[in-house]
Amino acid sequence: MNETIQTLVNHRSIRKFLDTRLTEEQVHCIIQSAQSASTSSFIQAYTIIGVTDPELKSKLASLAGGQPYVETNGHFFVFCADLRRHRYAAELEQTNVAASIESTEKFMVAVIDASLAAQNAAVAAESMSLGICYIGGIRNQLQEVSDLLQCPEHVLPLFGLAVGTPSADTDLKPRLPMENIYHENLYNDDSAKWMNELRAYNETIADYYEKRSGGTRRDTWSGQISRMLATPKRLDMQQIITAKGFMHR
Amino acid sequence: MNETIQTLVNHRSIRKFLDTRLTEEQVHCIIQSAQSASTSSFIQAYTIIGVTDPELKSKLASLAGGQPYVETNGHFFVFCADLRRHRYAAELEQTNVAASIESTEKFMVAVIDASLAAQNAAVAAESMSLGICYIGGIRNQLQEVSDLLQCPEHVLPLFGLAVGTPSADTDLKPRLPMENIYHENLYNDDSAKWMNELRAYNETIADYYEKRSGGTRRDTWSGQISRMLATPKRLDMQQIITAKGFMHR
């Protein structure tokens, strides 16, 4: 296992950072790494907003659900799907690209592009012994976050990435068994196999929480996931995405 | 710049592989790395299908647009958005999660989860001196690809990842200027700035193609992107996604 793979498999989300700002060089390295990720047909359909202004960070934290690590970290990045620069590019070429930009396909391209870039940013940060935490919470009040960061049409914030020097370590969280995530040649939809794997995984997760909590918490994966999914959340997502000029057809 | 960041910034897509299969250990390492990526609220909403059967690969290649590197590589992975196992998990808990699973928000979560995992897979492969190429082309005839791999409801193939031993090297492709992709605190929608940056970038890209082609090709980024976006593609995407049980609200 080489050094890079060691970094990857040792990932854990960090939710407590020292109040030490990233250096300009670290930020540069992280963005350069993000930009080096693959991008669909070279489209580069994302923008990264680095939020350092304390007032903005505090407002973001409150919109995202009040997590202290959105406010206190070394640097806060917001990854946005962005097809706006492609309109400018088309203007230079006097071409009409509106129908493409409004398609569901191109929105997916932008979301995937932004996510590949973000994961490179995360890996770069962790390789420099920084900790990271993705913040999906910015989608709790997405329109307000978009307004706060002044994102225009065809630019949609997707998630945040808090980066900084960890002030507390966390344990590695065991993932689903590999045979559950990885299928060979065909999708294996054998319900008895699924159920067995999920029951076994529930045991693993229950042990993990029990050990981590000193015996006070015993929770399973299916329990946790079912409770989370029992109430649908963020039902304004489709409306916000289409109002931004995406996914019209 | 540490070894991991060197791997990240040296990424280039490889489109010509030796016909040498990845070892089981390499595949294991790649999947373990993929699974170690962050996942929204621990939902792990993706499945990876490793396609090694020569007949399946050949059919996939033809559905994706006939690229030889979909057929000839060391291993071909298909990353799928997957909320199916969460239905099984909810069954174990006798909970109804249908409304959540059908939401646009949860489809986005699955696409982002799958993409973060895929980029970890790509980085792991490159750190082992393997080459990679993402294949968005599987969305050209997505319903057929989904049927070929027997993906049931709530499972949608998103993109492929060809991995293997490179048989030809390619050049690093210069990305958009950092100030175009990275904004500080607020989105900077200054159209004069955009236009200047895109014009400068067009020069960079024109030089890149000219050098690479020995003077026979001179193309710009805005030219290439505008031509690509002039005709909308894959307009069946929304219909396929909703037919799969995603994005109903």
Q: What is the pLDDT of residue A142?
A: 98
Q: Considering CB atoms only, which of A97, A191, A234 is closest to B88?
A: A191
Q: What is the pLDDT of residue A8?
A: 98
With beta carbons less than 8 A apart as the criterion, state whether A19 and A32 touch: no
What is the amino acid identity at position A18?
A: L
- What's the gap in Å between the CA of A166 and the closest CA on chain B? 16
- pLDDT of chain B along its 249 residues, tens only? 899 999 999 999 999 999 999 999 999 999 999 999 999 999 999 999 999 999 999 999 999 999 999 999 999 999 999 999 999 999 999 999 999 999 999 999 999 999 999 999 999 999 999 999 999 999 999 999 999 999 999 999 999 999 999 998 888 999 999 999 999 999 999 999 999 999 999 999 999 999 989 999 889 999 999 999 999 999 999 999 999 999 999
Give A183-198 as a 3 state SS string: EECCCCCCHHHHHHHH
- Write out the two tokens for B243: 């037919």
With beta carbons less than 8 A apart as the criterion, state whether A98 and B207 touch: no
Phi (first) and psi of residue B160, to 5 degrees: -100, 165
In B, minimum Cα distance to A234 occurs at B105
DSSP B118-184: HHHHHHHHHHTT-EEEEEGGGGTTHHHHHHHTT--TTEEEEEEEEEE-BSS--PPPPPSPHHHHEEE
Interval A43-50 mean pLDDT: 98
Banded model confidence at residue A218, pLDDT cuts 50, 70, 90: confident
CB contact (8 A) between residue A38 and residue B227: no
State whether residue B232 sits within 8 Å of chain A by CB.
yes
Q: Considering CB atoms only, which of B139, B149, B238 is closest to A249?
A: B238
CB contact (8 A) between residue A90 and residue B3: no
| Cα(A205)–Cα(A212) distance, integer angstroms | 10
State whether residue A169 sits within 8 Å of chain B by CB.
no
Q: What is the pLDDT of residue A67?
A: 95
How does pLDDT run across A171-209, given as a tens digit for each residue? 899 999 999 999 999 999 999 999 999 999 999 999 999
With beta carbons less than 8 A apart as the criterion, state whether B64 and B148 touch: no
In B, minimum Cα distance to A109 occurs at B136
How many A/B residue pairs have CB atoms within 8 Å? 370
State whether residue A150 sits within 8 Å of chain B by CB.
yes
Question: What number does CATH give the domain A3-170+232-243?
Answer: 3.40.109.10
State whether residue A76 sits within 8 Å of chain B by CB.
no
How does pLDDT run across A47-69, given as a tens digit for each residue? 999 999 999 999 999 999 999 99
Q: ipTM value of the model?
A: 0.98
Question: What number does CATH give the domain B3-170+233-243?
Answer: 3.40.109.10
Q: What is the pLDDT of residue B194?
A: 94
With beta carbons less than 8 A apart as the criterion, state whether A204 and A174 touch: yes
State whether residue B180 sits within 8 Å of chain A by CB.
yes
Q: Considering CB atoms only, which of B8, B29, B183 is closest to A33?
A: B8
Kindly list the residues from chain B whose CB atom is less than 8 angstroms away from the CB atom of residue A42. Answer: 173, 221, 224-225
Q: What is the pLDDT of residue B169?
A: 83
Q: In chain B, where are the structural domains located?
A: 3-170+233-243, 178-218
**Cβ within 8 Å of residue A78, ≥6 positions away:** A48, A49, A50, A51, A60, A138, A145, A149, A157, A159, A160, A161
State whether residue A192 sits within 8 Å of chain B by CB.
no
Mean pLDDT taken over chain A: 97
How does pLDDT run across A127-143, given as a tens digit for each residue? 999 999 999 999 999 99
| Cα(A47)–Cα(B51) distance, integer angstroms | 33
In B, minimum Cα distance to A127 occurs at B4
**Cβ within 8 Å of residue A100, ≥6 positions away:** A106, B228, B229, B230, B231, B232, B233
